[in-house]
Structure formats: structure tokens, C-alpha cells
Amino acid sequence: MRIKINDQGLELTEQSSLAELLSAQNIDTTAIAVALNGKIMHRGHWQQTKLNDGDTITLVQAVAGG
Amino acid sequence: MFRIADRDFQSRLLIGTGKYSSANVMQESLAASGSELVTLALKRVQLDRPGDDIVTPIQNLGLQLLPNTSGAKTAQEAIFAARLAREALGTHWLKLEIHPDPNYLLPDPIETLNAAEALVKEGFTVLPYCGADPVLCKRLQDVGCAAVMPLGAPIGSNQGLLTRDFLRIIIEQASVPVIVDAGIGAPSHAVEAMEMGADAVLVNTAIATANDPVAMSQAFRNAVIAGRMAYEAGLSQNASLKATASSPLTDFLESL
């Protein structure tokens, strides 16, 4: 199954949830937000959200700025 | 003390967190500034190079976060960025900024007004970065923005209050706080804005890129306090080219 995170392609060998993907990618989830196919996914839903082939994930984090 | 939406602030200095040489210097500067409201940006996570956690140290200082929508070129992009920011940081406070022009980073008034209206309806506390246009500021206020943030000069340009005459009109007409944002390059510029009656100023580049950002933070802190005190004290209106003596000049000489 192939997905995209921030325009970068990624091959997943098995069915996984959003939470499992973030964990596998070692993402610090302190101040991040996730959108799946353009829809913002609330933190509380990451565990139950299963990923599908062709999904596009936008992952943003807070950084310094004025 | 002044109030934005439902929150009171002791400090009238808002600080941006960009352009600091290190996270430590940023933290020390924030602490030295006395600021209580601090801007942040959002960026796509680079999977091979995730950034440091910038939020925890700011929250540890007890400061309120004000995420911005920098990078958005349209109302639609800004609304998406705002929702992401709310999700990432757990705050509905937002510095709305939409600047499609890469050279001068001037805010798009139409997209900003459209986005502001939509975001207020979604429950955001919207502080829009905008041109120093009194009519636009009135419109932003009318759609429910919690403050207006007109520019003194283009972002990061350190040119001071090039828009001073229009800022005066905005301050005169506004019923929400006026926070002068962008272009403030020296404490003297901040004093000028505060003497004029601005409710607050937002400073980033002038502090972050100073030789000693921590000391410059303190300088701005004092400048904002001095400017506000002067405004409240009421500036003397006695300005003319001709001198007017402040000491008696002749009486005792005549008796010699």
C-alpha cells in the first residue's frame, strides 16, 4: 500500500492506523496537526483511523515565526 | 493592563519567535521582554529532519501562544492553516496573515477580510495582520476581529512607522485594540507607536537579529512602558519652531 506524507511517497507493508504510522516514523506529536486527504483529523481519532492505499497525509508542526 | 477578547494582559509587547540564533537565546529574550503573547508559525514536518519542540519551552514560561497563518496566499489556505494551528496547539487564538507578494509581504486585504469573517464564525479569536488602511481596519472590526494589527512598514524591514498618519486615524476610530505590527526596528519606533495611543506593538526581527537580543528585549520592554506612560500622561501640545522659555529669563538680571 502506497501513501503520501507531505508529498513524499511511502510504502506500507501492512494495514496501519494513523497513530501507528506516526509512531513508526518517530514523529514527536507534541504540537503537530494531521490532515488526511485534506480533512483535519482530531488527535483523539488517530488511533481508530485506518490508512488506505493512495491516502495523502499533511503533517504540520509549530515552528518559530513572527 | 489591556484586554484582547476575554483576556487581560499586563504587557503591551507581543513577541515573534522567528530568526533567533538559537532556542536558548529565544527563550531568554522572551523572558526578558515580559511579553505574555507570543507568535509561532506552522510548517510541514520534514520526515528526515523533524524540527525541535518549540512549544513546550514557551508554555513553560507561562506565555500564551498566537499561531500565525504565514505562508497562506488565499483565504482558503489561511482557513485551512488556522484549523491546523488550532489542532496542533489547542488554541483558538490566531494571527491571521495572508501575503501573496514575496517581495514586500504586504497583506492581501480582500482575502484577509474574507478569511477573518469565516474564522470568527468558526469561533476563532482573530487578530489580523493588515495594511494601515482605516477603512479596512473598520471592516475587520465589524466582522468580529478581536484586534487589528496594521503594519508600520513591510515585515522585517526595520523602517519604523512609515504609515504613521494612517495609524493615527486607525487608533482614533478603532473600538478593538490596535497592535502595530511589522516594521518596528528600534525601541524609539515602539515608543512612537505607543505615544500615539496604540494598544500594543508586535516585535520580532528587531529583537531577534540584534547583537544582544536579550538586552534588546529589555530595551523594547522599557520603550513600550515609557510610550504608554507618555500617552496616558498626555503629551504637551506646545510644538512650534519658536522657543518658549521654561525658566524665567530676565528678572533678576535687571536688578543688577
Q: What is the DSSP letter of B178?
A: B
Residue A12: what pLDDT? 84
Q: What is the DSSP letter of A50?
A: B
Residue B255 has pLDDT above 70, yes or no: no
Residue A66: what pLDDT? 84
Is A2-61 a CATH 3.10.20.30 domain? Answer: yes
ipTM confidence: 0.90
Going along chain B from its start, the domains and CATH numbers come out as 9-234 (3.20.20.70)
Residue A8: what pLDDT? 87
Residue B49: what pLDDT? 74
Tell me the average pLDDT across B155-169.
94
Residue B11 has pLDDT above 70, yes or no: yes
What is the distance, to the nearest Å, from the Cα of residue B116 to the centroid of all Cα atoms in its chain?
17
CA distance B107 to B125: 19
Which pLDDT tens digit goes with each residue over B203-236?
A: 999 999 999 999 999 999 999 999 999 999 999 8
**Could you say which of A6, A30, A33 has the minimum Cβ distance to residue B84?**
A33
Which of B19, B73, B95, B242 is an active site residue?
A: B95
Among the listed ranges A28-37, B51-60, B157-166, B174-183, which one has the minimum average pLDDT value? B51-60
Contact call for B42 and A6, based on CB within 8 A: no
For residue B95, indicate whether it is catalytic: yes
Q: What is the DSSP letter of B37?
A: E
Contact call for A40 and B67, based on CB within 8 A: no
Which pLDDT tens digit goes with each residue over B13-62?
A: 999 999 998 889 999 999 999 999 999 999 998 887 767 778 888 888 88
So where are chain A's domains? 2-61
Residue B177 has pLDDT above 90, yes or no: yes
**A42 chain-B contacts, CB cut-off 8 A:** 87
Which pLDDT tens digit goes with each residue over B89-114?
A: 999 999 999 999 889 999 999 999 99
Residue B52: what pLDDT? 74
Residue B256 binned pLDDT confidence (cut-offs 50, 70, 90)? low
Contact call for B88 and A28, based on CB within 8 A: no
Among the listed ranges B6-15, B171-180, B226-235, B244-253, which one has the minimum average pLDDT value? B244-253
Residue B206: C-alpha distances to residues A51, B6, B98 (Å): 45, 29, 22
Q: How far is B243 from chain A (nearest CA, A)?
A: 44
Other beta carbons within 10 Å of B102? 7
Neighbouring residues of B153: CB distance < 8 A, sequence distance ≥ 6:
B159, B160, B161, B162, B163, B182, B183, B185
